[in-house]
Each structure stands twice: as C-alpha cells, then as structure tokens.
Amino acid sequence: MKKIVVIGEILVEIMADTPGHGFREAQALTGPFPSGAPAIFAAQAARIGQPVAIVSAVGDDDFGRLNLDRLARDGVDVSGVHVDPHRPTGSAFVRYRGDGGRDFVFNIRHSACGHLHDTPAVRSVLASADHLHVMGSSLASPEFVARNMAAAEAVRDHGGTISFDPNLRKEILAAPGMAEAMSRIVSMTDLYLPSGDELTLLTEAQTDVTAIGELLDRGVRAIVHKRGADGAGYHDAHHDLSIPAFEVTEVDPTGAGDCFGATFTALWLRGVPPKSALQTAAASGAHAVTRRGPMEGTADLATLEDFIRAQEADR
C-alpha cells in the first residue's frame, strides 16, 4: 500500500462548554483534545489502514505526549515528530458562537510545531513517501511553503502523487507571495480537495463549472468538492458526480473536512472507483461531526461501512 506523508501542525484543542463570545471571563472548558488539521488527516488515514506519517514537532510536555500517544495508537508513523525541549506544544482555545462562528486563541507560531526541523528522522520519513498531502492550514509562513514545495517536488520526482486541501483562510491568502505559492502547489496537485468557495479562489475562473475545467486543464487529475451538510462532488476527465450528505446530528463540525479528505485520499490511492470513495469519504465526514472534539470522530472502515448500511436502511 502507498504511504502518505503530511507536514504540519500538531496542537491540543481546548473547547468552551457553552456557546458565546470568546474568553473574556472565566468559564468551563473541556480538553485537551488531540488536534491540528494534518494530525486529524493522518489519524483518519491510519484508522482505515493506510500507511501514513506526520512530520511535525511537539513540546516535551503532556500536550505533546497526549498527541503522540493518540497518533501512535491509531497507527500513524510519528518517527518524524521532533520533541522540542525548548518550546511548548501548540494549542487552540475555541468557543463556538450561537451562529456557528468560532472565536480562537491560538498558540501555533511560537510553539514547537511553528518551527521546522531537518533531522535524519524527518529526512527518512520524507524519503519514504509515495504520496504527499499538503494542508493549506500548514502553509502559514514562507518557510512552511518552501518545505512543502520541496517535499512535493521530491515525491513527484520519485513517481509519487500529491493531494492538496487548500483549507484557505483569506488572511493567509493576503500575505505577500502566498496566492502565487498556493497556485504553484495547485499546478503540482493530482487530487485537489477544496471546500465551498475555495473551488474558485485559486483559479481565474469565477464559476464552479469553469473552475473545474480550468483545474483539469492545469493538470489536476481529480477534484473533490466538499460542501458540508450539502454533500460533495467529484470531477475528473470522465466523471461529474454529486452526492448528498448523510443525515446526522452535528455536534462539532471541526475535523469533518480532514476526515473526509483522508478517507477519500486513501481510497483513491488504492484505486477504489470515485463513486464508492466519495460515499465512504462522506460517511467519514458525517461520522466526524457527531463527536465532540476534532479527532474524536475518526473511524475504521468497518464502522464506516456499518454507518452507510444503517443510513441506507433508514432512507
């Protein structure tokens, strides 16, 4: 089986128990939960049996150990995770607002995972990659862009493939050189996984249909368009598929896109036909939102197949 490598942040997430605005008064919190978009992606890929490694760093603290223990238990290769004795593990405090928006207090840039390491262990993990998954949330500085680009070039030189989830925040795109860098990564991408209006953000085209045409012309082989509770689509030179979302009660939306992306990418690497991969990925995203905590809704293949059967029986 092909091995996936992902480079990026490992964090803990600590969640406010009540909806409201931010953290300006004392309140009840739940956590720490293991988190970080690339870490959630890696955990979900491992849970469905795909060989996968993450390149990152954590502090020599309980937040780091919590993450390393979880990732290792799920089967993620953590040999490329540097334990930094000088910086704490990254963190995100999050509180949901009544309207579904979120307020965050982040400690990422000055945390362990905000710094790159080029240790022999990291080099050996990168050399073992058949596939690189690039997470837009991890492209937070020119250094991280450069590292992902170099890794993508090396993987492609060895005949490997690239997937890219832009996970765009407009502030990131506004940073000098970032839109160009993102666009260069799109040009190296085999499997593109935008969500909502991210589909047109890195194209000249203004509409979904023309953006899909433009991306395929630029060499992207397959596009998976995530649309939250509205479902998902799949587009390549031969297919235009669209499926509805499974009906579930959303408890916590964080992590849905990462779980969906990991499941789709792993099945795509195995050559599973797009319709079936899309269905299983949608089950993975739907399952993720039913659990509180960003990484708590990951699931193995048997669980996802049972979930699909139960949903179909209900229809």
* Binding site residues, Mg ion, CB under 5 A: 167, 195, 257
Span of 11-19, 45-53, 118-126, 249-257 interacting with ligand ATP by CB under 6 A? 249-257
Span of 86-94, 201-209, 251-259, 301-309 interacting with ligand ATP by CB under 6 A? 251-259
Q: Is 95 in the site for ligand ATP (CB under 6 A)?
A: no
Neighbour count for residue 154 (Cβ, 10 Å): 14
Residue from 228, 272, 300, 308 in contact with ligand ATP (CB under 6 A) = 228
Q: Which residues contact 152 (CB under 8 A, 6 or more apart)?
A: 132, 134, 162, 185, 188
Window 51-70: contact mask with ligand ATP (x via CB under 6 A): --------------------
Q: Is 267 in the site for ligand ATP (CB under 6 A)?
A: no
Q: Is 286 in the site for ligand ATP (CB under 6 A)?
A: yes
Identity of the residue, 126 or 140, whose beta carbon is nearer to Mg ion in the bound complex: 140
Nearest approach, Cβ of residue 192 and ligand ATP (Å): 12
Q: Is 93 in the site for ligand ATP (CB under 6 A)?
A: no
Q: Is 45 in the site for ligand ATP (CB under 6 A)?
A: no
DSSP of 44-108: HHHHTT--EEEEEEEESSHHHHHHHHHHHHHT-B-TTEEEESSSPPEEEEEEE-TTS-EEEEEE-
Nearest approach, Cβ of residue 82 and Mg ion (Å): 26
- Cα–Cα distance list, 80 to 53, 124, 164, 260 (Å): 7, 8, 20, 24
- DSSP assigned state of 185: H
Identity of the residue, 167 or 200, whose beta carbon is nearer to Mg ion in the bound complex: 167
Nearest approach, Cβ of residue 233 and ligand ATP (Å): 9
Q: Which residues contact 289 (CB under 8 A, 6 or more apart)?
A: 248, 250, 251, 252, 253, 255, 256, 297
What is the spatial distance between Cα 274 and Cα 230, in angstroms, rounded to a whole number? 18
Q: Enumerate the β-bridge partners of residue 6.
A: 54, 133
The tally of CA atoms less than 13 A away on the side-chain side of residue 165 is 26
Identity of the residue, 167 or 298, whose beta carbon is nearer to Mg ion in the bound complex: 167
- Segment 148 to 177, residues that bind ligand ATP, using CB under 6 A: 167
Per CB under 6 A, residues contacting ligand ATP are 167, 195, 226-229, 231-232, 245-246, 248, 250, 253-258, 260, 282, 285-286, 289
